[in-house]
Copies of this chain bind each other. A is one copy, B any other.
Amino acid sequence: MNLRELSAHLGLSQTTVSRALNGYGDVAPATRRKVVEAAERVGYRPNSGARRLATGRSQALGIAFPVDRNLLLDPHFIEFIAGVAAHAGEQGYDLTVSPTTGTEGEVYRRFARMRTADAVILSGPVLEDPRIALLRGLQLPFVVHGRTQTPLPYAFVDIDNHGAFRQACQLLLDLGHRRIGLINGDESQTFARDRRAGWSSALMAAGLVAATDGLARAGAMTEENGYRFARDLLETSPRPTGLICSSVLLAFGAYRAVRDLGLAVGRDVSVIGHDDELPFLRPHTLDPPLTVTRSPIRKAGERVADFAIRLATGTPIDRLAEIKPVDLVYRGSTAAPEVR
């Protein structure tokens, strides 16, 4: 059933039916009711291609999906996408994921030229991110999940990575720890840089200027790396008594390393992780339960979708910037260090 048939069926013009369905003002209430009800009954859906052609808008959000780099192909990314999809769906938007191998430029160009997305979502920003300039050049509205150092204005949703890791480090300092290692994500990405800066700023403020030397490791946030990095750090001398990890997966590996060295988490080594609230890896199920900085990445996805839709419908960029605070949840993996 298309618009012409529906209109004929109702004895109205396509114009009126279209306006009634799209919520325009200039329609008699009774007419509107009749139209909406009939559309509902026969299950009418506008042909997306036709609407797209007529309006120039696709009612879809776009996201580049890196299929070769492992960078984003991790559980954090899907949880983020789930949030995007959930909010987009509520607003009647689809999500078009375009696979990319290598450069994302091609994908964005396609989105722009084919008008296949009204706004795109940019994930995993690095410090100097060329995608910002590219997207601006293409006139394609976009929202960044995270931030970059690029001076150009752009819409973004981020969490307070710096504050969170400063606070986590401060907690360990307050407990009496003095050697505190950092097990970070890939530091070409901004979030990881911010976290490192937060960690080191707490140490500096405590007068432990040299305490950052050699006590940080960074790489993909896998269990394997968590193990490797933790093991590496714990074998330095004097041994760190605290470890701060950029993900629960890394913390997971760190736990394993601590155990393998015959030590105990909580007693010998305090561990804090950053919890994105991935549904299949819950920090409170670890033994001992993991102290975390916490911010649901899924909520971030929802917010990014919200921003993207607003951007596509005319909200100015400068109103679309948000830095969410991060909770610190204290559990059994942190304690005062043993006096030696």
A151 contacts chain B at the CB level, 8 A cutoff: no
A82 contacts chain B at the CB level, 8 A cutoff: yes
Whether the Cβ atoms of A77 and B78 lie closer than 8 Å is: yes
Whether the Cβ atoms of A95 and B94 lie closer than 8 Å is: no
A19 contacts chain B at the CB level, 8 A cutoff: no
Whether the Cβ atoms of A99 and B86 lie closer than 8 Å is: yes
Copies in the complex: 2
Whether the Cβ atoms of B96 and A43 lie closer than 8 Å is: no
Whether the Cβ atoms of B85 and A89 lie closer than 8 Å is: no
A209 contacts chain B at the CB level, 8 A cutoff: no
A291 contacts chain B at the CB level, 8 A cutoff: no
Whether the Cβ atoms of A89 and B98 lie closer than 8 Å is: yes
Q: In the assembled complex, which residues on chain B have CB atoms less than 8 Å from the CB atom of A222?
A: 280-281
Quick one: which of B50, B51, B85, B116 contacts A67, CB cutoff 8 A? B85
CA distance A22 to B109 in the complex (A): 20
What sequence of 0s and 1s flags, for each residue 70-85 of chain A, a beta carbon within 8 Å of any chain B beta carbon?
A: 1001110111011001
CA distance A77 to B73 in the complex (A): 11
- Min C-beta distance of A97 to chain B, whole Å: 5
**Which chain A residues (62-119) contact chain B, with CB distance < 8 Å?**
65, 67-68, 70, 73-75, 77-79, 81-82, 85-86, 88-90, 94-101, 109-110, 113-116
Whether the Cβ atoms of B86 and A67 lie closer than 8 Å is: yes
Whether the Cβ atoms of A249 and B280 lie closer than 8 Å is: yes
Q: In the assembled complex, which residues on chain B have CB atoms less than 8 Å from the CB atom of A130?
A: none
CA distance A49 to B115 in the complex (A): 8
Q: In the assembled complex, which residues on chain B have CB atoms less than 8 Å from the CB atom of A89?
A: 67, 98-101
Q: In the assembled complex, which residues on chain B have CB atoms less than 8 Å from the CB atom of A30?
A: none
Whether the Cβ atoms of A280 and B74 lie closer than 8 Å is: yes
- Min C-beta distance of A96 to chain B, whole Å: 5
- Min C-beta distance of A183 to chain B, whole Å: 15
Whether the Cβ atoms of B116 and A94 lie closer than 8 Å is: yes
CA distance A279 to B220 in the complex (A): 11
What sequence of 0s and 1s flags, for each residue 200-224 of chain A, a beta carbon within 8 Å of any chain B beta carbon?
A: 0000000000000000000011111
Most buried by B among A49, A68, A282: A49
- Min C-beta distance of A326 to chain B, whole Å: 23
- Min C-beta distance of A225 to chain B, whole Å: 9
Chain B's closest residue to A53 (CB) is: B49
Whether the Cβ atoms of A82 and B53 lie closer than 8 Å is: no
Q: In the assembled complex, which residues on chain B have CB atoms less than 8 Å from the CB atom of A110?
A: 45
CA distance A278 to B222 in the complex (A): 11
